[in-house]
Amino acid sequence: MSINTQTWVAVLDIIALTPEEYDAILRKMGVEHTPAPDIYLHIAAPLDGGAGLRVIELWSSKDGFESFIQERMLPSAQALGLQRETTVTVTPLLNAFAPRASEITALAQTRVK
């Protein structure tokens, strides 16, 4: 696959965010039922040592990602009283490989809450 500068990878390392707080933000934003139009994929996993969470997303538009952060994520976190140190990196996608893509959504169903 060649470089596609129209697709963006966003990585957010959110220090000290718990899985429960993450779930609360998702519910507040309503993204699982009404996702942003420019997002392709959202994955979340714990940081090493349980220091917080890492979110990795694929977006068709860098502007779409930035608008989502300003218009949905930050207001939702603030409404819940959550402020966490966050490092955000947004870079063009080099490659994507997902031979079992059809199974990805079901993986979230198996998460222990």
Q: Are 93 and 7 in contact (CB under 8 A)?
A: yes
Q: Which residues pair with 14 in a beta bridge?
A: 53, 86
Tell me: the pLDDT tens digits for 72-96?
999 999 999 999 999 999 999 999 9
Walk me through the domains of the chain, giving residue ranges and CATH numbers: 4-89 (3.30.70.100)
Strand 52-59 versus strand 4-15 pairing type: antiparallel
Ranges of residues in the chain with a pLDDT under 50 are 1, 4
Residue 42, SS3? strand
Sheet of strand 4-15: strand arrangement? 39-46, 52-59, 4-15, 86-93
Of 105, 25, 97, the closest CA to residue 68 belongs to 25
Query: Which tokens in the block code for residue 96?
Result: 């994507």
Give residue 106's pLDDT.
Answer: 84
Query: Which tokens in the block code for residue 79?
Result: 């409404």
Give residue 1's pLDDT.
Answer: 47
Q: Which residues pair with 69 in a beta bridge?
A: none
